[in-house]
Amino acid sequence: MSDKVSTLINDREGKNMKKIIAVLVLVLMAALWQQGSLTFWRPVSASETDVGLLNHSLTATGAQPTRAIFNGWAPLSRASEPKEMQVIVGSIASELGLNPAIHEITLRSTGDYSYAVLEHEDETKWLRIQVQYVNNQSYASIDIRQKDQHNIEQVYQKLSDALETVKLSDGSVIITACLEGTLNARLREGEKLDLLYNAFNAADASYLKGTEIGGLTVWSGYSPRFAFSAGGGEANLSLSLSYDDAIRQTVVRVATPVLPGSY
């Protein structure tokens, strides 16, 4: 009988020790990951787009998808006259599937600063195309706020192609993409960290830093799979959490390379 009792005690102690070791390993991994020393990897198709990676991140948070925001920018050959800018805006609009002939293009010039802008809104999106001349340089920009996340990869590609057609031959197109979703809960600190872990892991990203200001929590990280980076190439994935009292939901945003300026 004593041998059976001894064996039972040893088995229990062994199981308890395994549990303790498992917990310690998890704690160590979490600590290393929060310091940016631990990078997670997951096989991702070589053809995976930035928007596809962002979609993985948002899905991993468990948030219900709501809208998508894209901001694109490209340098142009010198275009300082409003009429020149009007032609470029019309060209971009055509690339995006709009008929510039039925849209008003607003022109303005003050000498040192000139611009041409077209705005459009329908049941699925709001967009603005703008060409501006300032400080002896010309730029084209496209802002799209899509009211859902249908066909977001096609929208992203159209935006990129439109800017590629008008940019300087040696210039670069830069695009910021942001996907938004909501959670029916106010998150505790531990839940926020779990969400951060899942979102960054889904995009093969390592954690860099985080901050919280006035109820808005923002984290940044880096994944070699995103096309664009910010901060000297150090960051290209952002995650923000904020609780909206009006809808009683937590708003989740994932973006690359940074969150849009409106936030």
Tokens of residue 140, six digits: 């084209």
**C-alpha neighbours within 13 Å on the C-beta side of residue 90:** 14
Predicted TM-score of the model (pTM): 0.78
Q: Is the dihedral of CA 228, 230, 234, 235 positive or negative?
A: negative
**C-alpha neighbours within 13 Å on the C-beta side of residue 127:** 24
Q: Tell me the C-alpha distance between 98 and 107, whole Å.
A: 18
Q: What is the 3-state secondary structure (H, E, C) of 179-243?
A: EEEEECCCCCHHHHHHHHHHHHHHCCCEEEEEEEECCEEEEEEECCCCCCCECCCCECEEEEEEE
DSSP readout, 54-72? HHHHHHHHTPEEEEEEEEE
Q: How far lies 134's CA from each of 3, 9, 35, 116, 172, in Å?
A: 88, 79, 42, 12, 18
Q: Tell me the C-alpha distance between 55 and 153, whole Å.
A: 10
Which residues are 222's β-sheet partners? 206
* Confidence at residue 47, expressed as pLDDT on a 0 to 100 scale: 53
* Confidence at residue 199, expressed as pLDDT on a 0 to 100 scale: 96
- 3-state SS assignment for residue 49: coil
Would you give per-residue pLDDT tens digits along the chain (263 residues)? 445 434 444 454 444 444 443 333 333 333 433 444 333 333 344 457 899 999 999 999 999 999 999 999 999 987 788 899 999 999 999 999 999 999 999 999 987 899 999 999 999 999 999 999 998 899 999 999 999 999 999 999 999 999 999 998 788 899 999 999 999 999 999 999 999 999 999 999 999 999 998 889 999 999 999 887 776 668 999 999 999 999 999 999 999 998 886 43
Domain 68-177: state its class.
alpha beta
